[in-house]
Every structure is written in structure tokens, then in C-alpha cells.
Amino acid sequence: MEKNEEFSKELETQYNILIKAEAKKTEQRFIAMFIILCLTLVSGLISLVFAAKAYFNTKEDVNNIEEVEKVYFETLSITYNNGNRLELNEIGTDYVLPNPKVIQITNEGNNPTSFNIKISSIKTSLLATNNLRYSVERNGEQTLTKELPLSDTEIIKNVVIEPDETITYTIRASFTGTFDDYSNYYNANVDIIQNNTASVLLK
């Protein structure tokens, strides 16, 4: 009788151990599933945040796309980014023109011709432009650096361009002095004027 009782107790003990072990496994599985679920939710939230950020960045990039304006002057076709207006606003210490003016000039005629680049229709709050300088790059190579004029001026003269040739100019500007008043501005047209047009008109 005692042996049967001992066997029953041992069996009960082993059974309790098995139940506890199974309960522990179940608890571990639950914890693992909970951790996986949490990680999935966090990953989903992170993906959602990045997707939203990418969407708004794309939207912002679309809004910041520069408009391209194409005009014709006799046999020349001229493409400007954001029109032919050179606009420098809020000029002060460390000012740099945020969007350089890019101009592409193509000779669509049948003969070589030449052109000038002129700054005109100037409006500015500045009495002098000693420290307001511009630079011009031709096809990526810098050609000149000067002070911006206060009156209509041809900044580049008699550039020869061959038929089907395209020349790209980039105009940058910066203020090299110290100026605490950021309400100043300098706005002007950048005009391309073709020379010798009588003999090179498109057929």
C-alpha cells in the first residue's frame, strides 16, 4: 500500500512538473509572439513614417522644380530657368544667390552668328554694388567675375556660335561685404541679343 502511495505521489509530482514545463513553454511562446507582434508594429510604424516623409519630400521637390522658359531671337533659341529675370533678394552678409541663372543658347540657323548678353531693366535698393559681385561660367568653365552694374550693361560681347551649337551660361552672384540690413535687393533682366541677323535668318 505504501509503495502504491509513493508511486502515486511520484506520478503526481512528475505530472505537476510536466504541467509547469508546458505552462512555461506556453508562456515563452506567448512572450515570443508578443515580441514579434511588437516588432512588426514598430516596423510598420517606421515604414509608415518613412513613406510619409518620402511623399512630402517628393511633393516638396516637385514644388521646387524650376520652370523652364524658351524664347527665340532671330536664329537663336534661348532657354532660361525661371525666366530671364535675375532676382537677388534679402541681400546681406554672406549672401549667395540660391538659384543661379542658367541660360542655354542654341544657333538654329544655317550660318555662324554672334550674340551679346546684356543686364537691363535694373531695379535695386543699393546705392553702390562694390561688394555685390557676379560670376559667369561658360559650359562649366568660369569666364569672368565682376561687380553687378547699376545701369544697362552688356556683360558679354560678340560670342560666336556655330549652327546647331549650344552654349550654356551659368550666372552666380554673392555679397562679399558685411551688411546687417537684409532688406536690400537687386533685380534685373538678362537679355540675349543676336548680332548680324540680316544674313542668317532661318530658311
Q: Read off the amino acid at residue 47.
A: S
Q: What is the mean pLDDT of the chain?
A: 80
The answer on pLDDT for 196 being more than 80 is no
- Closest by CA to 91, choosing from 35, 120, 131, is 131
Neighbour-count burial for 98-134, b at 16+ CB within 10 Å, e otherwise: eebbbbebbbebeeebbbebbbeebebebeebebbbb
User: Contact, 118 vs 199, CB < 8 A?
Assistant: no
Residues 6+ apart with CB under 8 A from 69: 79, 80, 81, 82, 83, 84
Three-state secondary-structure class, residue 94:
coil
pLDDT at 24: 64
What's the gap between Cα 82 and its chain centre? 14
pLDDT in tens, 32-90: 677 777 777 766 666 665 555 554 544 444 344 556 777 766 789 999 998 999 999 99
In this structure, the chain runs to a length of: 203
The answer on pLDDT for 199 being more than 80 is no
pLDDT in tens, 165-186: 999 999 999 998 888 888 899 9
Q: Read off the amino acid at residue 177.
A: G
- Closest by CA to 78, choosing from 200, 167, 195, 188, is 167
Give the Cα separation of 81 and 104 in Å (integer).
Answer: 9
- Start-to-end CA distance of the chain, whole Å, equals 124
Q: Averaged over 100-112, what is the pLDDT?
A: 94
Cell of 139: 559650359
